[in-house]
A and B are shown apart, each in its own frame.
Chain A
């Protein structure tokens, strides 16, 4: 079973939420914290469930997400 990791660069994120709706697993939410630019950055709530599909990164307008995938 594929296991993934979506790495969101907090400082590049503008908190638009497009990745939140893009994630088929519903794993992304906007943080309560503010980043250095004053946005609520996206965070992965449960990385264990990430499959590494990269749809979040595909929809990110700010190239703030890198995705890794592990094959077991």
Chain B
């Protein structure tokens, strides 16, 4: 009998304990990206671009070259990096406020240009780092510190379906939404993240992957309750699936 390790920390991850709150599924996403970097063997060939928000310290956990961006501007910074290093893998990570509110311009035009970068978008329907304010993806009726009575669509409009929006642009090669709320979806999410990197490596164009995630702290729920709340409230509004795949881009 011999024991084989079937699950270990990916090599592209540092040993640092992540700063995310207990039960925040952002840590899963952080790990999936590292697993993909390992599987594609691109650790020494990758430059990551980070956000402002809960994932602002993401560089502490990936053992790759890293470039900071200001709030919302990661796709523009990644554009600058990719234009200088067209042979490198350049990816960005942003939260919902970063990518779908203050940085809407940058992500839309990076997609429209068909910028050969992979953009990861963590949607937890709230501003986490600043303490639970309404996000562009806050669900109608969802309580936040700036929508204390629940998001009122008359006053504050509707959540932004950014990933569907980007799918209609000719420059977008790949657009998909995944979730990490249970093991089956975690496995699926990793495949999709990997595909987004492969689309870039093959030079097929711009890739966006939205990843639904929880925020137990600011939702005011336990980690396990948060998973349930995501299933019941976020999934119906933000359906998972691929909205555009590279085969469709040339049509």
Q: Determine if A17 and B24 form an interchain contact, defined as CB atoms under 8 angstroms apart.
A: no
Q: State how many residues of chain A have any CB contact under 8 Å with chain B.
A: 31
Count CB-based A-B contacts (< 8 Å). 83
Residues in chain B near residue A62, CB distance under 8 A: 17-18, 20, 27
Residue of A nearest to B29 (CB): A61
A7, chain B: closest CB distance, angstroms? 9
Which of chain A's residues 1-45 have a Cβ closer than 8 Å to chain B?
A: 4-5, 11-12, 14-18, 20-22, 39
Q: Does B183 have its Cβ within 8 Å of any Cβ on chain A?
A: yes
Q: Determine if A58 and B7 form an interchain contact, defined as CB atoms under 8 angstroms apart.
A: yes
Q: State how many residues of chain B have any CB contact under 8 Å with chain A.
A: 31
Which of chain B's residues 12-42 have a Cβ closer than 8 Å to chain A?
A: 13, 17-18, 20-28, 31
Q: Which of A15, A65, A69 contacts B4 (CB 8 A)?
A: A69
Given contacts A15-B22, A16-B22, A58-B186, contact A63 B27 (CB under 8 A): yes
Given contacts A58-B7, A69-B6, contact A18 B1 (CB under 8 A): no
Tell me the bound Cα distance from A60 to B17 in angstroms: 13
A9, chain B: closest CB distance, angstroms? 9
Q: Determine if A61 and B24 form an interchain contact, defined as CB atoms under 8 angstroms apart.
A: yes
Residues in chain A near residue B7, CB distance under 8 A: 54, 57-58, 65-67
Q: Determine if A17 and B223 form an interchain contact, defined as CB atoms under 8 angstroms apart.
A: yes
Q: Determine if A54 and B6 form an interchain contact, defined as CB atoms under 8 angstroms apart.
A: yes
Residues in chain B near residue A60, CB distance under 8 A: 27-28
Q: Does A47 have its Cβ within 8 Å of any Cβ on chain B?
A: no
Q: Determine if A63 and B3 form an interchain contact, defined as CB atoms under 8 angstroms apart.
A: no
Q: Determine if B2 and A66 form an interchain contact, defined as CB atoms under 8 angstroms apart.
A: no
B204, chain A: closest CB distance, angstroms? 29
Q: Determine if B223 and A16 form an interchain contact, defined as CB atoms under 8 angstroms apart.
A: yes
Q: Determine if A61 and B4 form an interchain contact, defined as CB atoms under 8 angstroms apart.
A: no
Residues in chain B near residue A67, CB distance under 8 A: 5-7
Residues in chain B near residue A5, CB distance under 8 A: 3
Please give the residue numbers on chain B whose beta carbons come within 8 Å of chain A beta carbons, in ascending order. 1-9, 13, 17-18, 20-28, 31, 182-183, 186-187, 216, 222-224, 227
13 A-B pairs within 8 Å (CB atoms) are namely: A20-B224, A21-B224, A22-B182, A58-B187, A59-B182, A61-B25, A62-B18, A63-B18, A65-B7, A68-B3, A68-B6, A69-B3, A71-B4
Query: Ordered nearest first, which 9 A-B pairs have the shortest CB separation?
Result: A61-B27, A16-B23, A14-B22, A67-B7, A16-B223, A57-B7, A54-B7, A16-B22, A68-B3
